[in-house]
Structure 1
Amino acid sequence: MTGENEGQQPGQPHLPDLHMRLRAELGRIDDRLRGLLDTMDRLQGLLDAVVAISREVELPAVLHRIVTTAMELVGSRYGALGVLSESGEQLEQFIAVGLSEQERADLAETDLPRGRGVLGHLIRHPEPLRVDSISTHPSSVGFPPGHPYLRTLLGVAISVRGEIYGDLYLSERRDGQPFDVHDENVVIALASAAGIAIENVRLFERVRIGAEQFQRLLLPTLPDLRPFAAAAVYQPAAEPSQLGGDWYDAIPLPGNVVAVVIGDVVGHDLEAAAAMASTRNMLRSLLFDRGNPPGAVLTQLDRTLQAITDNPVTTTTLARFEPEGGGWRLHWSTAGHVPPLLITPEHRTEYLFGEPGLPLGVDPEQPRPDHSRFLPPDTTVVFFTDGLIEHPDHPIDESMDQLADLAVAYADLPLQEFVQALADHHPSDGHDDMAILALRTPHG
């Protein structure tokens, strides 16, 4: 007897049934693969977010980055981070992201959130909070006038060293769906990394402040240099926690003579700062011998440093202002340093280029040329380090021209305001520390 099942063994499944079961199994495998790929994408996004947060070195930038990366991870339209006050009972800072210009304008007169309602619930109960309908939550108190309507919320606390630092809030997924457990888990992981990033940047800030204070302690307070007017400013590098090797000094000598020095030790570490201090102190002891011109003093300094220290290479300019006739005579010599900038009473500028000598620490036997220039009354000479003008995207000549233009623009300011203006509006990229010392000859 024959039929459609001829040849099929007893108990074997129907062939179409096998096809259906195979398709179902392949579908489940496909779903699992898609889920696995989605998980991998989320993990990669989380890793990228952690790296992005960790790169920031200023606290405001870190806090803003935490919010924006959290929004990207879960695809939310709005995000905010509320920083708690020292008491931990209310918000002292609120960083909101995602508001349109109109929405911000509508909220311009609204005070900082006081931590009431659902936000306050998360402050009092710092467990992760997922809300599908804010208006129906028992703690909801509504929104202030002008606030955009928000339906969903995902809130996670951020802890720093075991203490609640603040709360991260996300609202309104762009796909219109409520936040799910996967969103919650990835934001919890991000909040953990965010707490570490916040602690790190606060440590960086303490180190930076300490390094800057140490650097300033190594620099002198300018003495009374009358009849000259003098002013100086030191500005640390933009990179936190860096010590610098820039320094300046001005020393009154007998006979209305003033010696001025500015220099830059190679490096940005404790060794550079220590080398700067030792070089400045040694030079001070050599300046009182007025029989030697500046070039000879620098050579003597170089030989002394080579004999008793292992200091890094250092550039410097040494100058001496001496009375002459109805004005002043400037004598100077450089050891590989940028030239001073002269500003005439008529606000014309000129760089005092001259044959430079080698930096200190290269070859102490090589002589350093001396230069001289007569200065009429009300002439300003600006000594500075290369951190004021160096920019990787601009030729050095262009930056020097910009500095000269700035000097003309601010020449009428009192001298301390003048040097501060140069430091504030410098043409460099700020990657290096900078020192400026300006001396103005007396009125005629």
Structure 2
Amino acid sequence: MRTEATAEQTPEGLGATTLLPAHPDVDLDRFARLGTLALGVPVALVSMVSRDGQVLPGAVGLPEPWQTDRRTPLTHSLCRHVVTTGAVFAVEDARLDPLTADSLAIPDLGVVAYAGAPLRLPDPGTGLAAAGAPVVGVLCAIDGAPRRWTREQLSVLEDLAAACSAELGLRVLEERNRLLLRLGDALVGARTVEEVSATVARVTSSELGGAWSGLLLPDGHGRLRFTTMATLPPETLPAWQTIDLDAPVPSAAAARERRPLLFASIGDLRAAYPLVETKALMPDFGASAYLPLLVQDRLVGVLCLVWASERQTLEAEADVWSALARFTAQALDRAMLDAERRSRAQVLQQSLLPRLPESTGRLQVRGRYVPATREEQIGGDWYDVVVGPQGAVTLVLGDVVGHDMAAAATMAQVRGLLRAFVWDRGPSPTGPVQRLDRALPGLGVDALATLVVACVEEGPDGFALRWTNAGHPPPVLLHPDGRTDLLVGVPDLLVGLVPDAPRHEHVVPLPPGSTLVLYTDGLIEQRGRSLAGGIERVRESLRGNRSTDLDVLLDALLEELVGNRGEDDCALLAVRFP
């Protein structure tokens, strides 16, 4: 007796890969053992078949070496007929059936009577396997003698196959949950679009069997554009970097239709979109998924997933792809909002930074501002150089307490007031600071700030510096021979604490060729490093770069002490004296 299968199927009717590898599986061995007991046969298998052969993660009763190897070529597989037809297949005597008589499973494996039922992954929502769901495996019973299979026996086999399918479905669901949990955890730290793209590429590649991913963003001009080609296959043509939204390709269709498009093979894709290669030749790949990334009804991008081989379970995992799309869309939306905030902050930052005066006599003056590596990328640090009515040069460097845009706005008020006081009062560092102390509460400006105000004085004996320090890190004076001095004195209170706080002035001569460097604490404060250690590193860097021009010296200082990991914003001001 033969049931259901009616014709020989070619290897092309089989998938390119199997759901599980050729290794013994304790749970699937248990299903095979139940099969032998329920149907009274010596051999039962849980097999998975691809064009490359048959693997046997569940097996009881096979002769060696097959029981150990858990793999056979297609020439030894009767399960292939179940996979290609998607139906129960049974024969009383495989030696007499034209469909199976030539199978090497008869002499090598001792197969005479055979009955196999398909394994399909159930829908995660209902727990039921649809009749048209792809066949991912076969539960079969084998006897070494002819046997007439009763309807009751085949029903028992189908019941066992349904239970085995449920086991496989739970495994797939657990694996996909791990994927989503790992992706969710990884995306928490993704702060830019590029980081989102790289995170999705890394996690999907490691968790989805070598899948690569591409993230397409709408460019506002009716096109989708890949964020980076680095996550795409090397053979991907440049023509695919940009895709028109009305193009007859699945990524554009997913964006237009706001629904995921899943293709188990490249053949399925070409059948659904026969005009796809009017844009450019498609790379040679297997399965692919095109997931619209939606925040409410707003399209923020399209996620493309591509596998090197076919993936018959793609439709059964649709809920996974929907969750993956939601996670990615949320992370992408956060990254875009962060980018917009950073852009606004950078515009504000540029508007707040002063333009250094074009002429400061014979002095060379350079300034730097480096934002912190955090969301707004702006804070309360600033530098300034004020040239008074008589040409006197005053240097200002300060830091308003706070690390956000509110601190930046307060800094702008403090800087504006101090700049006016410095210009009006003349070459005295303490006078403008005392006026600022009184003005802040009087004008309702709630601010605390550290700062240094330093007046450059030129006399018959050369240059000198007269300065006052309101709770700020000490400036460093670099001598031409590499020696460094910290400009320290009586510590004064921060500005904004006490309206009539006493202020002290200090004077130091400036040798010819010396360089004065003022900095905020963002240069010296890093996790795991003391303030004293940070200041010493400043001095070491200045000594090592003393013979370079000011731009090189400041760039080296920032590179060596801050790099790309700044925890606070940082302002620098350097003056070289003739």
**TM-score (ref. length: structure 1):** 0.77
Q: How many Å separate the matches in 2 of 1:200 and 1:264?
A: 30
Partner of 2:298: 162
Change (3 A) 1:233 1:194: same
Task: Confirm or deny that 1:208 pairs with 2:378.
Answer: no
Tell me whether 130-139 or 281-290 shows the greater mean CA deviation: 130-139
Q: How many Å separate the matches in 2 of 1:312 and 1:238?
A: 24
Give deviations 1:307-346, integer Å, cap 9, x for gaps. Answer: 4334232111111110122311111111110111212223
Task: Confirm or deny that 1:304 pairs with 2:432.
Answer: no
Partner of 1:342: 477
Q: How many Å separate the matches in 2 of 1:229 and 1:249?
A: 14
The structural deviation recorded for 1:213 is 1.4
Change (3 A) 1:90 1:332: closer
The structural deviation recorded for 1:44 is 5.8
RMSD: 3.9
Asked if the contact 2:457/2:465 (under 8 Å) is kept, the reply is yes
SS of 1:125's partner is: helix
Q: How many Å separate the matches in 2 of 1:404 and 1:319?
A: 20
- In the alignment, structure 2 segments of 5+ residues that lack a partner are 1-36, 39-157
Q: How many Å separate the matches in 2 of 1:27 and 1:93?
A: 45
Name the amino acid aligned to 1:368: R
Could you tell me which of 125, 133, 144 is aligned with 2:253? 125
Q: How many Å separate the matches in 2 of 1:94 and 1:289?
A: 56
Q: How many Å separate the matches in 2 of 1:268 and 1:188?
A: 38
Q: How many Å separate the matches in 2 of 1:149 and 1:257?
A: 72
Q: How many Å separate the matches in 2 of 1:115 and 1:281?
A: 47
Asked if the contact 1:263/1:317 (under 8 Å) is kept, the reply is yes
Task: Confirm or deny that 1:434 pairs with 2:570.
Answer: yes
Could you tell me which of 285, 288, 293 is aligned with 2:420? 285
Task: Confirm or deny that 1:191 pairs with 2:325.
Answer: yes
Give deviations 1:93-112, integer Å, cap 9, x for gaps. Answer: 4444497xxxx6xx69x746
Partner of 1:230: 365
Change (3 A) 1:200 1:329: same
Q: How many Å separate the matches in 1 of 2:160 and 2:434?
A: 84
SS of 2:437's partner is: helix
Give deviations 1:156-205, integer Å, cap 9, x for gaps. Answer: 343566347334123148xx964433433212221233223223212211
SS of 1:312's partner is: coil
Partner of 1:12: none
Partner of 1:266: 401
The structural deviation recorded for 1:415 is 2.9
Q: How many Å separate the matches in 1 of 2:545 and 2:192?
A: 30
The structural deviation recorded for 1:250 is 1.2
Bigger radius of gyration among the two? 2
SS of 2:425's partner is: coil
Partner of 1:67: 201
SS of 1:272's partner is: helix
Asked if the contact 2:450/2:471 (under 8 Å) is kept, the reply is yes
1:34-49 matched pairs, under 5 angstroms = 35=169, 39=173, 42-43=176-177, 45-49=179-183
Q: How many Å separate the matches in 2 of 1:278 and 1:420?
A: 29
- In the alignment, structure 1 segments of 5+ residues that lack a partner are 1-15, 18-23
Change (3 A) 1:187 1:408: farther
Name the amino acid aligned to 1:171: W
Change (3 A) 1:46 1:226: same
Change (3 A) 1:273 1:84: closer
Q: How many Å separate the matches in 1 of 2:252 and 2:380?
A: 49
Partner of 2:354: 220
Asked if the contact 2:286/2:311 (under 8 Å) is kept, the reply is no
What number of residue pairs does the alignment pair up? Answer: 411
Asked if the contact 1:130/1:154 (under 8 Å) is kept, the reply is yes
Q: How many Å separate the matches in 1 of 2:188 and 2:239?
A: 27
The structural deviation recorded for 1:28 is 7.7
Percent identity among equivalent residues?
27
SS of 2:507's partner is: strand
Tell me whether 336-345 or 183-192 shows the greater mean CA deviation: 183-192
Task: Confirm or deny that 1:363 pairs with 2:504.
Answer: no
Asked if the contact 2:368/2:554 (under 8 Å) is kept, the reply is yes
The structural deviation recorded for 1:383 is 1.1
Partner of 2:136: none
Task: Confirm or deny that 1:313 pairs with 2:445.
Answer: no
Name the amino acid aligned to 2:260: P
